[in-house]
A = this chain, B = another copy of it.
Amino acid sequence: MTQGFKKEIVRHIFRNLLDIMVLKLVRADPMWGYKMIKIVEEKYGIKLRHGALYPLLNNLERKGFLRSKKETKRGRVRKIYEITSKGIQLMDAYNEFLREQI
């Protein structure tokens, strides 16, 4: 019954609430952009385009919801993002509102 909409719902959410989903991912576990793409692909079957994700990440950092530090692991330079207290406040308020509404 409900599973018929699953795919379009997941698509809808990653189209419209990508910023929220990114904050959620980073909050659960600090990580870098490339890893998000892999996780989202295997968990949800959605291919995030890095051409959209990286500018979004930089944007979220500029607005103070995320902070990043560069980490070099086996020669690979990664930008590890973690959520800021401002980001946590935003998410909590967002979740609260969604729960009330839905």
Q: Which residues of A contact B (CB under 8 A)?
A: 1-6, 9-10, 12-13, 16-17, 20-21, 24, 89-90, 92-99, 101-102
Contact = CB atoms under 8 A, between A and B. Distances in A.
A9 to B, nearest CB: 5
A88 B93 CA distance: 26
Q: In terms of DSSP, what is the predominant structure of the interface of chain A? A: helix
Nearest to A13: B97
- Stoichiometry, as copies per complex, reads 2
Q: Interface centre among A92, A93, A99, by most B CB within 10 Å?
A: A93
A89 B1 contact: yes
The 7 closest A-B pairs by CB, nearest first: A16-B16, A2-B93, A5-B93, A95-B102, A5-B90, A9-B94, A9-B97
Contacts of A5: 89-90, 93-94
Nearest to A1: B89
24 contacts: A1-B89, A2-B92, A2-B96, A3-B93, A4-B89, A6-B93, A9-B90, A9-B93, A9-B94, A9-B97, A10-B97, A12-B94, A13-B97, A13-B98, A13-B101, A16-B16, A16-B17, A17-B17, A20-B102, A94-B102, A95-B102, A98-B98, A98-B102, A99-B102
